[in-house]
Amino acid sequence: MSAGFAPFVREEQRTEWGMYSRKNQGWIQESAYLKKVHPVHRDALHGTIQDHEHDRRGRRLQEEESPSIARSIWRWENGMKVPEVQLPGQLYAPLWQISPADAGVVNCNLLSDPVIAELYRSMLEVGHGVLSYGTEVGDLVR
């Protein structure tokens, strides 16, 4: 289980977003702060089904000395990261801050997944946040 934030970015803002996200990726290392100052801390997922997946991601983050995010907004295509097509007026929702932290999924365009894109369309239509059914996005971001 994870939680994330993905802002709306228009094609015309794409270069600025890329610079901002690279400049401000320090949150990934900051997210590991508690484990550094209190190594026996396990966190809220300890003992749950998600604990194994969370521990795997945590080990991967610790193994990366200096994780770096993708330079541009991208999507998964046939198991590979590919840059999103640039079209005037295009709207993206690049995954930004996510917990547990995972540099490898930052800037993945959530709107490239039809289920998530439909949820975003619903939010835009009604003009406020909406609740949806549980959505498995594992294939989208890994």
Query: pLDDT (tens digit, 9 = 90+) per residue, 93-107?
Result: 999 988 778 888 999
Neighbours of 17 (CB within 10 A): 18
pLDDT at 133: 66
pLDDT at 10 over 90: yes
Please provide the size of the chain in residues.
142
Average pLDDT of the segment spanning 57-72:
62
* Domain count along the chain: 1
Give the pLDDT of residue 95: 93
CB 13 within 8 A of CB 98: no
* Host domain of residue 66: 3-141
pTM over 0.75: no
Question: b/e map of 72-81 (b: 16 or more CB within 10 Å)?
Answer: bbbbbeeeee
Residue 37 has pLDDT above 90, yes or no: no
pLDDT-based confidence at 63, cuts 50/70/90?
very low
Q: What average pLDDT does the structure give for the chain? A: 78
> Has residue 59 got a pLDDT over 70?
no
Where residue 5 falls among pLDDT bands split at 50, 70, 90? confident
Do 114 and 130 contact (CB within 8 A), yes or no?
no
